[in-house]
Amino acid sequence: MNASSASPTPSEPVDPREPVDPREPVDPADRNGTFRSESLEHALAAQDAAAVAFALRHDVVVVPKLVLPADTADATPSTGGPDDGALPDEGDQVRVFGRENTDKRILLLFSSADTYAAMVPDDPNRQVMLYDALSLRAFLEAHLDVIEQVFFDIAGPHTMAAGPEDLLKALG
């Protein structure tokens, strides 16, 4: 498919090797309602940092969504439903993890909603969002001072880690 051709119709297969324009919203219908990045999954299985960077630049990554208790007075409700597969709404927040007695946080990213579920199997209200390269870059830049490490698929089977600065470089 060349750059001048029209967008594929639903009957046309989309070439998975063709990069996804990161400025376009992620349409869950185009992903068959899945919360998964096969390219990231394969890159992690190969333990290939360059392939992980490519997947992050040209596909999506599953990001845990912070779910605030319903009785939180200052909670900003999301206009999208849980696991709706779209890019995050303005009020949506990324769930980060930290150690006690420190203000530093760890960002956990996943190749699929299933790998996130494996990490928090007893969480009754786990929700995820899909981030594209631009959304991930914006989040990292905004929180670079508190994010000390980024882990991919921390519950396995193919965990990788990167520093936030290295991840920003990889995103281009």
Q: Please, what are the domains in the chain?
A: 33-67+82-87+94-171 (3.40.1350)
Q: Can you give the pTM of this predicted structure?
A: 0.73
> Residue 100: its pLDDT value, please?
85
> Residue 128: its pLDDT value, please?
92
pLDDT digit string, tens, across residues 91-126:
689 999 998 889 999 999 999 999 999 999 999 889
pLDDT digit string, tens, across residues 74-94:
544 343 344 444 445 566 899
Contact 138, 92 (CB under 8 A): no
As a whole number of angstroms, the distance between CA 158 and CA 7 comes to 34
Contact 93, 66 (CB under 8 A): yes
> Residue 68: its pLDDT value, please?
81
Contact 152, 44 (CB under 8 A): yes
